């Protein structure tokens, strides 16, 4: 059975609205965020506070209440019938994220066995398909990389792109 590895942030968990919510809470100024293609969310906020995103992402609880990306639950459940599916997240980068991410997955993807969740530093996993929004994770990937669209990767053209979970379903199911 072929193996699929799926990233969390900006692939199944929607991080950007959480940044906007916290920014609005702390600065009381609505953030009309239009992220220019190729830019990160923190590049779009005023320079004098543009490191605030780093504080947010390191707060305990940041990853616990993220929105689920549309159609990801249904498609991943269907993928499990055909593939050996793993969630692979570079959670070690943000030490407070480990419990948050595990609990979030248990709530929103309870059909995923804990043995199919991998929290790591580098995503050096042998899989047949890797679905991720960061091309740095494709460097050691011997399988088929699928670039999940996010504002920061819109200018990248050298990888097969998927814009939604419906796209993934049409390619892999």
Catalytic residue numbers, as ranges: 7, 9
Length of the chain measured in residues: 173
Backbone angles phi, psi at 92, to 5 degrees: -65, -20
**CA separation for the pair 170, 165 (Å, rounded):** 9
Which residue's entry shows tokens 């814009």? 163
Who contacts 117 (Cβ-Cβ below 8 Å, separation ≥6)? 86, 87, 102, 105
């Amino acid at each position: 059975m072929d193996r699929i590895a799926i990233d969390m942030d900006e692939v199944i968990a929607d991080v950007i609205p959480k940044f906007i919510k916290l920014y609005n809470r702390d600065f009381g100024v609505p953030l009309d965020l239009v992220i220019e293609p190729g830019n990160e969310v923190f590049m779009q906020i005023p320079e004098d506070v543009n490191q605030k995103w780093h504080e947010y992402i390191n707060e305990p609880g940041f990853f616990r209440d993220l929105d689920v990306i549309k159609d990801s639950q249904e498609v991943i459940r269907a993928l499990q019938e055909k593939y050996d599916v793993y969630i692979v997240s570079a959670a070690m980068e943000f030490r407070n994220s480990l419990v948050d991410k595990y609990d979030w997955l248990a709530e929103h993807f309870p059909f995923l066995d804990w043995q199919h969740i991998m929290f790591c530093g580098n995503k050096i996993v042998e899989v047949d398909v890797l679905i991720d929004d960061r091309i740095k994770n494709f460097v050691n990937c011997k399988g088929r990389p699928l670039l999940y669209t996010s504002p920061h990767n819109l200018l990248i053209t050298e990888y097969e792109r998927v814009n939604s979970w419906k796209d993934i379903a049409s390619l892999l199911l």
